[in-house]
Amino acid sequence: MKIVAINGKAYWDGRDFMEIEPGFNYIELATTKESRGGRVTTNPFPMMAKPCVRYLVSAKHERAVDARRWAIRVVEEPIGGCEAPAEEPAEAASTANDAG
């Protein structure tokens, strides 16, 4: 798998690792398996990234000889020693926004 774009910003250098901010991200991924015609196919991957989690992403091809049809497989792995920031209660956050 290679990262083609994150949130509309293209990466053409063949990245296979990228840090992203927690929250919603729209990622475009490409399989490294080429089709018979030498074409590479991409799939969109909208995701809600959690803090302190590493995502291992791979391609699951329908058939060994067909690189055009594939699904994205994700494994979540906690990042050791990482502490997620505490979430503000919704009521406190709206009160703070109203005060400003």
User: What's the length of the chain?
Assistant: 100
For the chain, domain boundaries = 2-99
Is this model's pTM higher than 0.85 or not? no
The reported pLDDT for the residue numbered 22 is 93
Identify the H or E element spanning 95.
Answer: helix 90-99
Report helix, strand or coil for 96: helix
Contact (Cβ atoms closer than 8 angstroms) between residue 19 and residue 55: no
User: pLDDT (tens digit, 0 to 9) for every residue of the chain, 100 residues total?
Assistant: 888 899 999 987 877 788 899 999 999 988 877 667 777 788 899 999 999 999 998 888 876 656 677 888 899 999 999 888 777 665 555 555 555 5
The reported pLDDT for the residue numbered 11 is 85
Within 13 Å of residue 73, how many CA atoms lie on the same side as its CB?
6
Q: What is the DSSP string of 11-29?
A: EEEEE------SEEEEEEE
